[in-house]
């Protein structure tokens, strides 16, 4: 009688022989399976391997659950967190009696209004306008430049022409304005200057003006004011607020590195 070998390719045989293992009473198996050449291969199959992977998956699930809970809490409590972040960033002094209040270049929608208000309160005798660098269109008379626009705005807000002056020539940025304002202060023998500025610009402006005025007996007061589009209480709800905060963080880092 002829018998066909169990190693034949035509008959796929799978046999397991239990062997005792001293791992918490578990069993492992010696599994014999034919390979492509018809020879038996022996491997060890253990339940411990699957138990290990199950444990890893369970721990990963716990970690992800905790992170999700933290993210949800942060989202639900985002208002006080973001409000606190703005308050930590903003630098502002209390305005006191000064010799002059400064209108820096740009910010036509807010800065001359704050300066005029401080003037009318009697906190400053002079309003200084930054003489900024003008474009070709302004020089050709096609459009009104920032310096002239600020001047006209102050006149319409009731500030007399005799109380308005300019400083600098062709100021291109806040660093130029700080340098030129120091030169003006040196020649006018002033003791205190108020600089009103938007809330998120306040930290950069405070740093650069105090740096340039270092060593002088002149008190620089940076007065941070809320803008019409957003305030420190709701800045994250408006695109202008998000962009302004982001841009000022970048500008501040740049100024610290280059000035």
Tens of pLDDT, residue by residue over 194-209, are 999 999 999 999 999 9
Residues 46-57: tens digit of each pLDDT: 555 566 777 777
pLDDT at 37: 58
Task: Report the interhelical angle of 111-120 vs 146-156 (nearest 10°).
Answer: 40
How is residue 158 annotated by DSSP? Answer: T
Low-confidence residues of the chain: pLDDT under 70: 1-51, 62-63, 65-77
Phi/psi at 42 (5° precision): -115, 130
Task: Supply the pTM of this predicted model.
Answer: 0.72
- CATH class for the domain made up of 87-258: alpha beta
What is the spatial distance between Cα 236 and Cα 40, in angstroms, rounded to a whole number?
Answer: 68
pLDDT at 243: 96
pLDDT at 142: 82
pLDDT at 181: 98
For strands 40-45 and 164-171, give the pairing. Answer: unpaired
What is the spatial distance between Cα 158 and Cα 172, in angstroms, rounded to a whole number?
Answer: 28
Per-domain residue ranges for the chain? 87-258
């Amino acid at each position: 009688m002829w018998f066909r070998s169990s190693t034949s390719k035509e008959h796929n045989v799978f046999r397991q022989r239990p062997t005792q293992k001293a791992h918490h009473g578990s069993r492992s198996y010696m599994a014999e399976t034919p390979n492509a050449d018809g020879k038996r291969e022996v491997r060890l199959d253990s339940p411990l391997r699957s138990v290990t992977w199950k444990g890893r998956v369970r721990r990963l699930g716990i970690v992800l659950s905790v992170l999700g809970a933290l993210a949800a809490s942060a989202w639900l409590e985002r208002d006080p967190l973001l409000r606190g972040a703005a308050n930590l960033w903003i630098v502002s002094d209390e305005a006191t009696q000064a010799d002059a209040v400064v209108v820096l270049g740009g910010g036509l929608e807010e800065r001359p209004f704050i300066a005029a208000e401080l003037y009318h309160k009697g906190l400053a005798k002079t309003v200084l306008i930054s003489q900024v660098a003008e474009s070709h269109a302004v020089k050709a008379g096609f459009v009104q430049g920032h310096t002239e626009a600020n001047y006209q705005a102050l006149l319409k807000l009731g500030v007399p022409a005799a109380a308005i002056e300019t400083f600098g020539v062709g100021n291109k940025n806040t660093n130029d304005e700080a340098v030129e304002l120091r030169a003006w202060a040196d020649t006018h023998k002033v003791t205190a200057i108020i600089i009103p500025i938007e809330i998120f610009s306040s930290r950069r402006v405070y740093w650069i003006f105090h740096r340039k005025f270092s060593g002088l007996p002149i008190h620089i007061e940076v007065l941070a004011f809320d803008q019409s589009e957003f305030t420190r209480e709701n800045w994250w709800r408006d695109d202008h607020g998000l962009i302004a905060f982001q841009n000022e963080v970048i500008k501040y880092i740049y100024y610290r590195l280059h000035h």
